[in-house]
């Protein structure tokens, strides 16, 4: 079972999400909270959570700050943001604070359930429409996009660069292995090497690296 905490300041949305998400046999909604601070206070020895489904805009402690605090104290918990297209600045900061991805609020319920399972499996969830908008935000207008040769100077091999691209597209290790005709273990080794070479923390930061350094070439 995947244990989920739902965080939203709108009680109607909280209860609706609790009902919809809880219908899946693989997911258990362990708690609901009205803001990031309340969610943090619920987590601990008495409440073990795998995924926090977090709204971005909330009073007291918004989703961006809530994500930072939760990830600092409980690094094994995955955070999935609920956003709108107007939340670009928040999305960038949330990803930098350790969120594993984000969902748009107007998507069908089954996509929310699938998104929870996707990040629980260690993958990154980035909507392609917003990803294109994030590229320009993550890279200052005056900063040119590095060419392939410049990326190789960072220590990435062609195979590793391909893995970075596929991670940013939201593919799992198994899916990457299928596309590149590699074993899943080999892909895991590539991911470990990439994290070490680029001094990154997790797959989400790999996706941010891709959006900032690679996309748009």
CA distance 19 to 205: 32
Q: Scan for tokens 């997790």, then name that residue.
A: 202
Give residue 214's pLDDT.
Answer: 58
pLDDT at 213: 64
> How do the domains of the chain map onto residue ranges?
2-125, 139-214
Helix or strand (DSSP H, E) at 112:
helix 109-120
Give Cα separations from 27 to 14, 49, 102, 165, 192 (angstroms).
Answer: 16, 11, 18, 30, 29
In angstroms, the Cα distances linking 143 to 151, 163, 190 are 15, 24, 28
Superfamily of domain 2-125: Response regulator (3.40.50.2300)
pLDDT 10s digit of each residue in the chain, 217 long?
Answer: 999 999 999 999 999 999 999 999 999 999 999 999 999 999 976 788 999 999 998 999 999 999 999 999 998 999 999 887 666 778 778 888 889 888 888 888 888 999 999 899 888 887 666 666 665 555 444 444 444 455 555 678 888 888 888 887 777 888 888 888 888 888 888 888 888 888 887 787 787 777 766 554 4
In the CATH hierarchy, which top-level class contains the domain 139-214?
mainly alpha
**pLDDT computed for residue 139 by the predictor:** 47
Please tell me the predicted confidence (pLDDT) of residue 107. Answer: 83
């Amino acid at each position: 079972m995947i244990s989920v905490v739902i965080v939203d300041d709108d009680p109607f949305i909280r209860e609706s999400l609790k009902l919809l998400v809880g219908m899946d046999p693989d997911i258990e909604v362990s708690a609901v909270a009205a803001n990031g601070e309340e969610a943090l206070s619920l987590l601990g020895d008495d409440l073990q959570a795998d995924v926090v489904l977090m709204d971005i805009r909330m009073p007291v402690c918004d989703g961006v700050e809530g994500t930072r605090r939760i990830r600092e104290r409980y690094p094994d918990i995955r955070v999935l943001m609920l956003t709108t297209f107007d939340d670009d600045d928040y999305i960038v900061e949330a990803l930098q604070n350790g969120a594993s991805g984000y969902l748009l609020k107007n998507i069908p319920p089954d996509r929310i359930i699938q998104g929870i399972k996707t990040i629980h499996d260690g993958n990154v969830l980035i909507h392609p429409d917003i990803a294109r908008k994030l590229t320009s935000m993550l890279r200052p207008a005056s900063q040119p996009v590095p060419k392939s040769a410049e990326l190789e100077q960072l220590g990435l091999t062609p195979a590793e660069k391909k893995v970075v691209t596929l991670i940013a597209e939201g593919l799992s290790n198994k899916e990457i292995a299928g596309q590149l005709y590699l074993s899943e273990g080999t892909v895991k080794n590539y991911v470990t090497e990439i994290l070490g070479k680029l001094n990154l923390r997790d797959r989400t930061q790999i996706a941010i690296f891709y959006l900032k350094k690679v996309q748009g070439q």
